[in-house]
Amino acid sequence: MSPVPMGPASPFVSDVPAAQALAAWRESRAAAGCPARVDAVRVPVGQAVGRVTAEPVWAARSSPAFDSAGMDGIAVRAAGTVGAAETTPVLLGAEDFEVVDTGDPLPAGYDAVVMREHVHHTGDGRAELRAAVPPYQHVRSIGEDISAAELLLPEGHRLRPVDVAACAAAGATELAVRRAPVVVIVPTGDEIRPIGAELGPGDILDTNSMMLAAQAREAGGDARVTDIVPDDPAAITAVLCAAAAEADLVLLVAGSSAGRDDYTARVVAAAGSVAVHGVAVRPGHPVVLGTVEATPVVGVPGYPVSAALTFDIFAAPVLAELEGAAPRERPSTTARLARKLPSVVGMDDWVRVRLGRVRDQIVATPLPRGAGVLTSLVLADGLLVVPSGVEGQHAGADVRVELLRGLGEIGRTIVAIGSHDLVLDLAASALRAADPLITLASSNVGSLGGLVALRDGLCHVAGSHLLDPSTGEYTLPYVDKLLGDADIAVIRLVHRDQGLIVAPGNPLGLTEVGDLTRPGLHYVNRQRGAGTRALLDHELTRRGIDATEILGYSREEHTHLAVAAAVAAGRADAGMGILAAARAFGLDFVAVAQEPYDLVLRTDTWSDELLAPLWALLERADFRAGVEALGGYSCTETGRRIR
């Protein structure tokens, strides 16, 4: 496939399939004369770990280099022990054995070793044996480990600690390895500021460069970061050309899309050539792949998740090629999807997921998918790809997941799905502090979604605070309705204050839910199935208010903190949520109700070893004090089983 021609003023972003984009870029690199491999260098064997062999490693000597004792004991002639038994011991004179330690050369004329524990020395200096030994018992023969002239390692092998030890044993003092490819990262943008700088309105910290540099080093590269370059095509071009002159790969960060200040594609096209601008992957769609001065260049999108995944998909394979090594691959597993996963047809959709083992199967719960949600990668246990031709996946579907965490750790994860609450975050931190092997992974899909996930065997516990308007009860009527005859336990986590989250000082003077119908007031709601939304709907019904009278009723957020953030940013005047979320953003709060928040689980898992630390945590006085310090919580019933 030929490179895609790009004029310097072209804002076009295409949708090239990922495999086709990689092939086009590879052809472009070859046409530009980009080196296929970085240079070979010779380094002391002890400094070669992590590097890739540039030539085969042949053993210069055998290991061991002589027949040696494999145990502490005595060296003997096997023929001299024939007939030895418990009832007919053989006595060896001092001239018929020699004392040896492990690793000693086997004395001339001897062909076996008897362990010290199996030898009885008599007072006159003889050795009594009560069992015959075969020839070469407990003897390490010359070349048993490595034989001289043997191929020890092939070219293209990434060296591990055990490899360099074997090389040293085979006589190597230096190894020919590929030098670390130089990766130069060029951050751009008028709004980008260095880590530690004071931020003004609209300023963004340059976390992408730090992350990409760490990824490059982890992949075996020598990472270097330039100063931040402003949105000036001439300045970007100058830094890009200087970087290409010293680098084996350049990562030009931000400016890869088609906005007014997105110059990456134009600059790369003017200074070299662009193979592809826009790949059918999400996140990371506007990536630029090209060359400048015989150096590969990646125009990395500015959103952090896009940047991280762009490195994995495009930069890491190039670094492996430059070193002549196989690309590093993560292990994978099959998991059941905890909830429906919509996807855009026409793009490979890289989805971050949390994983846990529930009833002997791995369960995958999708995390927030925004390209700017860096914490979705922080929390992720795995990545799944929804192929471009698939319009999402249904809940319960089997999916292939690339693992970011070991299966052993995943097996020690408590999977909580349901309503969002800050107490679960506090519990996750406390559990991990007490035992680094325990993880509490909570996913926010609303109370109703949590109960459905529990019904379908997709979580250990479901967080719920659903109000049944007809009875005034919380959670239990929905448990009966959704879980039927299943044997269910319900544990009280907390009571908490729910109300209207409003701007500091409550400038609109809101006093109750009925005020939400005021003309011009903008509301932000919770998603369908959330207990907070059910509470709002109940309060509206009590007052005879039609939800359509509220401006913004259809605008949804999935957590209390997201609601508070919307109010803090001025995007909404009010939203229903918990007091702790309002406090977290320095907002005011108009109380509406105090409600219970419960954990629902199957009774047969109540005594599971995995869940025991959670129940113990709920009894701790320091944990309860920490919960109440958040504001708006009561722990008077925390840990009590109400069913």
Q: Are 113 and 137 in contact (CB under 8 A)?
A: yes
pLDDT on residue 9: 40
Those residues with Cβ within 8 angstroms of residue 510's Cβ, 6 or more apart along the chain or in another chain: 500, 502, 516, 574, 590
Q: Kindly state the tokens that stand for 31.
A: 């046409």
pLDDT on residue 342: 85
Query: What does the pLDDT average to over 454-467?
Result: 94
Report which of 555, 590, 548, 593 is spatially closest to residue 572, judged by C-alpha positions: 555
Model confidence at 501: pLDDT above 90: yes
pLDDT on residue 509: 97
Model confidence at 3: pLDDT above 50: no
Q: Where does 173-232 have alpha helices with state H?
A: 207-218
pLDDT on residue 396: 87
- pLDDT, mean over the chain: 91
Q: Helices 264-271 and 233-246 meet at what angle, rounded to 10?
A: 60
Q: Where does 484-600 have alpha helices with state H?
A: 531-542, 560-568, 579-584
Model confidence at 371: pLDDT above 80: no
Q: Which CATH architecture has domain 18-37+180-323?
A: 3-Layer(aba) Sandwich (3.40)
Q: Which single residue is written with the structure tokens 């400016």?
A: 255
- Report the Cα 275 to chain-centroid distance in Å: 30
pLDDT on residue 484: 85
Q: Are 118 and 129 in contact (CB under 8 A)?
A: yes
d(CA 583, CA 467): 24
What three-state secondary structure class fits 474? strand
- Beta pairing partners, 354: 365
Other C-beta atoms closer than 10 Å to the C-beta of 601 total 21
Query: What does the pLDDT average to over 366-393?
Result: 82
Model confidence at 150: pLDDT above 70: yes
Report which of 589, 448, 562, 574 is spatially closest to residue 505, judged by C-alpha positions: 589
Model confidence at 285: pLDDT above 70: yes
d(CA 365, CA 382): 10
Other C-beta atoms closer than 10 Å to the C-beta of 528 total 11
Distances (CA, A) of 283 to 19, 169, 317, 334: 16, 48, 18, 22
Q: Which single residue is written with the structure tokens 């995390």?
A: 367
Report which of 374, 378, 379, 448 is spatially closest to residue 413, judged by C-alpha positions: 379
Confidence of residue 257 (pLDDT cuts 50, 70, 90): low
Query: What does the pLDDT average to over 168-175?
Result: 94
Lowest model confidence (mean pLDDT) among 52-61, 100-109, 340-349, 469-478: 340-349
Model confidence at 260: pLDDT above 70: no
Residue 214 phi, psi (nearest 5): -65, -40
Class of domain 68-140 (CATH, top level): mainly beta
Confidence of residue 446 (pLDDT cuts 50, 70, 90): confident
Cα distance between the two ends of the chain: 65
Query: What does the pLDDT average to over 566-595?
Result: 96
Ranges of CATH 3.90.105.10 domains, the chain = 40-63+145-178
Per-position b or e across 510-522, b if 16+ CB within 10 A of its CB: beebebbbbeebb
Confidence of residue 5 (pLDDT cuts 50, 70, 90): very low
Q: Kindly state the tokens that stand for 606.
A: 């109540």
Q: What is the pTM of this model?
A: 0.82
Query: What does the pLDDT average to over 415-433?
Result: 93
Ranges of CATH 2.170.190.11 domains, the chain = 68-140
Report which of 244, 184, 313 is spatially closest to residue 33, judged by C-alpha positions: 244
pLDDT on residue 6: 39
d(CA 631, CA 143): 71
pLDDT on residue 1: 39
Whole-number percent of the chain with pLDDT over 70: 96
Report which of 567, 469, 448 is spatially closest to residue 516, judged by C-alpha positions: 567
DSSP state at residue 188: B
Model confidence at 305: pLDDT above 50: yes
Q: Kindly state the tokens that stand for 216.
A: 């490059």
- pLDDT tens-place string over residues 67-113: 999 999 999 999 999 999 999 999 999 999 999 999 999 999 999 99
Whole-number percent of the chain with pLDDT over 90: 77
Q: Kindly state the tokens that stand for 106.
A: 């086997």
CATH number for the segment(s) 40-63+145-178: 3.90.105.10
Q: 3-class secondary structure for 50-87?
A: CCEECCCEECCCCECCCCEECCCEEEECHHHHCCCCCC
- pLDDT tens-place string over residues 17-29: 889 999 999 999 9
Confidence of residue 4 (pLDDT cuts 50, 70, 90): very low
Find the largest Cα–Cα distance for the chain: 112
Query: What does the pLDDT average to over 603-619?
Result: 94
CATH number for the segment(s) 461-634: 3.40.190.10
Model confidence at 10: pLDDT above 50: no
Query: What does the pLDDT average to over 121-135?
Result: 93
Model confidence at 258: pLDDT above 80: no
Query: What does the pLDDT average to over 180-202?
Result: 94
Model confidence at 215: pLDDT above 70: yes
Q: Are 321 and 249 in contact (CB under 8 A)?
A: no
What three-state secondary structure class fits 34? coil
pLDDT on residue 7: 38
- pLDDT tens-place string over residues 510-540: 999 999 999 999 999 999 888 999 999 999 9
The more confidently predicted of residues 156 and 285 is 156
Confidence of residue 370 (pLDDT cuts 50, 70, 90): low
Confidence of residue 34 (pLDDT cuts 50, 70, 90): very high
Model confidence at 12: pLDDT above 60: no
| Pairing of β 556-557 and β 523-526 | parallel
